[in-house]
Amino acid sequence: MNPLKIFIFQLQEITQLIISAFIGLFKKPFYLIDTIRQMDIIGVGSLPIVLLTGFFTGGVLVLQTFPTLAYYSLQNEAGRSVATSIVRELGPVLSALMVSGRIGSAISAELGSMVVSQQIDAMRALGTDPNRKLVAPRLIALILMLPLLTVAADISGIFGGGVVASLLFNQDTTVYITSVRNGVTVEDIIGGIIKPLFFGLIIGSISCYRGLSTTEGTVGVGRSTTSAVVTSSIMVIIFDFFLSRALQSILNVQPI
């Protein structure tokens, strides 16, 4: 089977998985406890690494751009450049990549282990739909929690940039905050929240599909986990381009 046919087949399988999972949300039983548990694992569990990534990303942006801005006497716009970059692009993308590495691998490994140990077959034999029990809670949790994690990363990144601007370049905090407020628009915030919704769906659907399609025993679990992380990370970066272009047209967002 050539790569194009494989891609189309996998895209069809993932689409069917998503549709089946969301249709199951309107049927009993409702797995609310499972969804809340996944939200805790994804949201609270990923918060430290997302905050750390955002903080140092904002810090290094100021560290690298402040001397250039000062050369053109634009150092008072350091906050604007950091806030715009993080809110529009770096916050959503970096948060998605961090979650993909941490949660995407965990989902794929967990579901893959259940397939290998025949737990999925046992669930079907007992009349439980794995898509509703296992896939839907993870998809919903990712779609709901990734935007919140992105907002946390944005705030942490702006704060990190302010710390570096204040401590290393002796910029007044009020100047930095004013620059941030002037640089971030409502359209930027809306776009920065819309992107993680799609990224969460991408990460969850690919990770669940890779896990449920695991073959060749325990060796296949490792392959599925690696494939889930790599594929979801690449798709996040690819979709970011198209989402950015669409948001520029829909929200009339001006390029940075």
What is residue 7's predicted lDDT score, i.e. its pLDDT? 80
Task: Name the residue range of residue 70's domain.
Answer: 32-250
Place of tokens 């809670």: 137
Report pTM.
0.91
From first to last of its 256 residues, what are the pLDDT tens digits of the chain? 677 888 888 888 888 888 888 887 777 777 889 899 999 999 999 999 999 999 999 999 999 989 888 888 888 888 898 999 999 899 999 999 999 999 999 999 999 999 888 888 888 888 888 888 889 999 999 999 999 999 999 999 999 999 999 999 888 889 999 999 888 888 889 989 999 999 999 999 999 999 988 887 778 888 999 999 999 999 999 999 999 889 888 877 665 5
What pLDDT, on the 0 to 100 scale, is given for residue 1?
A: 60
The Cα diameter of the chain in Å comes to 70
Task: Give the pLDDT confidence score for residue 214 in this predicted structure.
Answer: 86
Say what the pLDDT of residue 146 is. Answer: 95
Three-class DSSP category at 160: helix
Q: 19 in a domain, yes or no?
A: no
Burial of 226 (0-12, 13-18, 19+ CB in 10 A): middle
Compute the distance between CA of residue 108 and CA of residue 43 in angstroms, rounded to an integer.
Answer: 18
Structure tokens at 58: 């904002």
At 253 the pLDDT is: 62
Domain assignment of residue 57, yes or no: yes
- Is residue 142 situated within a structural domain? yes
State residue 200's pLDDT score: 94
Is 7 exposed, middle or buried, given 0-12, 13-18 or 19+ CB atoms closer than 10 A? Answer: exposed
Classify residue 126: in a domain, yes or no. yes
The whole-number pLDDT of residue 132 equals 87
Residues 38, 176: Cα–Cα separation, whole Å: 37
State the total domains in the chain: 1
Q: Is residue 197 part of a domain?
A: yes
Q: Is residue 171 assigned to a domain?
A: yes
Q: What is the pLDDT of residue 126?
A: 84
DSSP at 193: H
157, part of any domain: yes
Q: How far apart, in whole angstroms, are the C-alpha atoms of residue 231 and residue 227?
A: 6
Please give the distance of CA 127 from its chain centroid, rounded to a whole number. Answer: 33
Can you state the percent helix, strand and coil of the chain, rounding each to 5?
A: 85, 0, 15
Which regions of the chain does DSSP assign to beta strands (E)?
none
Cβ distance 116 to 218 under 8 Å? yes
Report CA Rg, the chain. 21
In this structure, is residue 165 part of a structural domain?
Answer: yes
How far is Cα 255 from Cα 221, in angstroms, rounded to an integer?
A: 42
How far is the CA of 157 from the CAs of 93, 102, 240, in angstroms?
Answer: 13, 20, 19
